[in-house]
Structure 1
Amino acid sequence: MDLKLEVVVLPVSDVDRAKAFYEALGFRLDVDHVADDTYRVVHLTPPGSSCSVLFGTGVTTAAPGSVQGLHLVVTDIKAARADLVARGVGVGEIFHDAGGVFHRGTREGRVGGPHPERASYGSFAAFSDPDGNGWVLQEVTTRLPGR
């Protein structure tokens, strides 16, 4: 049985501001449905992704900016970061973890620059949406077996 993650709900404080931000990232607008003043659903999909983000009015009780650690997988971390910066996104510098493959949820152990061998899964760059929901670019050039 397949289990496909296809939507992540993001808590935002200003729906139009969030919509403009994600469209500026290049996300495709799939839905912007207003039922009434208490319910609006905006659904956008990153380029090349099967998983979308959804936010709006009346779609979650989570605090705006409380979602952290969302990963956008890219094949070239330098090019992806440069593209986002050109789009006006405040992306941090590229980093890797001192201990190996994956980074911590804090700044602890971060070393500036891409992974020394540009190992797949090893280089990152972080940014946040206007509410503080946290995203990470992660460079993956070769998938681990079975992935």
Structure 2
Amino acid sequence: MSTVDESKESAAGSPPVKPGEFRLEVIVVPVSDVDRAKSFYQGLGWRFDAEAAVEDGYRLMQFTPPGSGCSIIIGEGVSSAAPGSAQGLHLAVYDINEARADLIARGVDVSEPFHDATGVFHHAGTEARLDGPAPGHKDYGSFASFSDPDGNGWVLQEIKTRLPGR
């Protein structure tokens, strides 16, 4: 079985890759139960791009977060990584509180907003984590986290104004 979503929301409108470019296009997220993961990522409101089951033991699905140029692939036979081993997958959001509220309304267990004691990027795990968003909601400094059913770790990062060149 193979399906592709040809909706107006398709990424087909993105410009072609130019010589010298290296675009991050897909991240493989290792899961133990493909159908459970499909339900979770669809429940986030992510676009379901494609599904293919070509042979026994090889099945994949692709999802794209709203507004993202990068997708994820989940499946069976697509990764040798242990389910739940993907950590620190970042989703840039405009408003950390609004993004949290949306995910919570979808049944996702999301941490309270936090920032790092250094005022820079967050440490691994919960080390140096301070409660609440970064002072003044400083761009790149406010975070919240959640996990999929296998424990793959996602981080929301609030960014209102991008650094130059981004």
Q: TM-score range by the shorter chain?
A: over 0.9
Residue 122 (structure 2) pairs with residue 103 (structure 1): yes
What TM-score do the two structures reach when normalised by structure 1?
A: 0.98
Which position in structure 1 is the counterpart of 2:85?
Answer: 66
CA distance in 1, matches of 2:128, 2:57: 43
For the residue of structure 2 that corresponds to 1:83, the secondary structure is: helix
Which position in structure 2 is the counterpart of 1:41?
Answer: 60
Q: Which amino acid aligns with 2:52?
A: H
**Corresponding pairs, count:** 147
Q: Which amino acid aligns with 1:42?
A: M
Render the CA deviation track for 1:15-71: whole Å, top value 9, x for unaligned: 000000000011110111111221101100000001000011110111000010000
CA distance in 2, matches of 1:13, 1:37: 16
Over the matched positions of the two proteins, sequence identity in percent amounts to 63
Map 1:15-54 to 2 at 5 A. 15-54=34-73
Structure 1 residues without counterparts, runs of 5 or longer: none
Q: 1:10 Cα deviation (Å)?
A: 0.7
Q: Which amino acid aligns with 1:115?
A: A
Question: Whose radius of gyration is greater, 1 or 2?
Answer: 2
What TM-score do the two structures reach when normalised by structure 2?
A: 0.87
Render the CA deviation track for 1:97-130: whole Å, top value 9, x for unaligned: 1111210012111111111111000000000000
Q: Which amino acid aligns with 1:97?
A: D
Structure 2 residues without counterparts, runs of 5 or longer: 1-19
- Larger mean Cα displacement after TM superposition, 12-21 or 29-38: 29-38
CA distance in 2, matches of 1:101, 1:123: 10
Map 1:128-143 to 2 at 5 A. 128-143=147-162
Q: Which amino acid aligns with 2:40?
A: F
CA distance in 2, matches of 1:102, 1:72: 14
CA-based RMSD of the aligned residues comes to 0.7
For the residue of structure 1 that corresponds to 2:85, the secondary structure is: coil
CA distance in 2, matches of 1:16, 1:115: 37
